[in-house]
């Protein structure tokens, strides 16, 4: 049913034309990311977003504060990427030597996995997690391998991994 208001405005019964701008404090699925200004119905803001702490009213002051915070985060991200690139360059110049038990044909009795490579890099004072080491599969033979290390989506390098047989301790 369509009602006429004063003037030429038409409204549908049961709805209102009002909405409110809110600033998202956290990511809200199907609404927006943290820091986004979105327009929602007042009831949704009043009954869900504001009480749950997911959003605040988008005042000019709040928008300025979010923009300043976003600029600081971007600066931190740039400096972090710079540090990661420096670390990636150092890792690229380094080679890892891992000892493993092998038969006379060079096949390992076990295998070398990302955890082993990350542990060796950590021992050399590189901040590398097993998640950063990208192996296509475990290393099962003696030899030299080039292993990709992804420190960040934008920062990758490669490290040479030498898998050598365990030397018998001199008695």
In a domain, 120, yes or no: yes
Shared domain check, 128 and 104: yes
Domain closes at, from 67, 83, 99: 83
Segment 16-42, tens digit of pLDDT? 568 888 899 889 999 998 888 899 998
Shared domain check, 138 and 120: yes
In a domain, 71, yes or no: yes
Shared domain check, 55 and 33: yes
Closest by CA to 140, choosing from 96, 166, 110, 114, is 110
Burial state string for 7-45 with b = 16 or more CB within 10 A and e = fewer than 16 = eeeeeeeeeeeeebebbbbeebeeebeebeebebeeeeb
- What's the mean pLDDT in 131-140? 93
Contacts 24+ apart (CB under 8 A), 122-130: 124/94, 124/96, 126/87, 126/90, 126/91, 126/94, 127/87, 128/91
Shared domain check, 99 and 30: no
Domain closes at, from 40, 55, 83: 83
The CATH number assigned to the domain holding 68 equals 3.40.5.10
In a domain, 63, yes or no: yes
pTM of the model: 0.64
- What's the mean pLDDT in 110-123? 94
In a domain, 9, yes or no: no
In a domain, 146, yes or no: yes
In a domain, 60, yes or no: yes
Report the mean per-residue pLDDT for the chain.
86
pLDDT of residue 6 exceeding 60, the answer is no
Quick one: pLDDT band at residue 15, thresholds 50, 70, 90?
very low
Domain closes at, from 64, 83, 102: 83
Closest by CA to 27, choosing from 18, 38, 19, is 38
Closest by CA to 111, choosing from 43, 152, 163, is 163
Shared domain check, 92 and 79: no
pLDDT of residue 7 exceeding 70, the answer is no
């Amino acid at each position: 049913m369509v009602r006429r208001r004063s003037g030429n405005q038409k409204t549908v019964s049961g709805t209102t034309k009002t909405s409110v701008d809110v600033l998202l404090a956290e990511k809200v699925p199907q609404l927006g990311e943290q820091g986004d200004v979105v327009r929602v119905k007042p009831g949704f803001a009043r009954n869900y977003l504001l009480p749950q702490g997911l959003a605040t009213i988008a005042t000019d002051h709040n928008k300025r504060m979010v923009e300043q915070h976003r600029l600081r985060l971007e600066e931190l991200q740039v400096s972090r990427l710079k540090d990661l690139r420096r670390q990636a360059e150092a890792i690229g110049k380094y080679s890892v030597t891992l000892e493993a038990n092998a038969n006379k044909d060079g096949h390992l009795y076990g295998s070398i996995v990302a955890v082993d490579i990350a542990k060796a890099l950590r021992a050399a004072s590189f901040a590398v997690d097993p998640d950063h080491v990208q192996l296509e599969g475990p290393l099962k033979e003696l030899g030299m391998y080039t292993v990709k290390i992804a420190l960040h989506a934008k920062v990758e390098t490669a490290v040479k991994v030498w898998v050598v047989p365990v030397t018998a301790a001199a008695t």
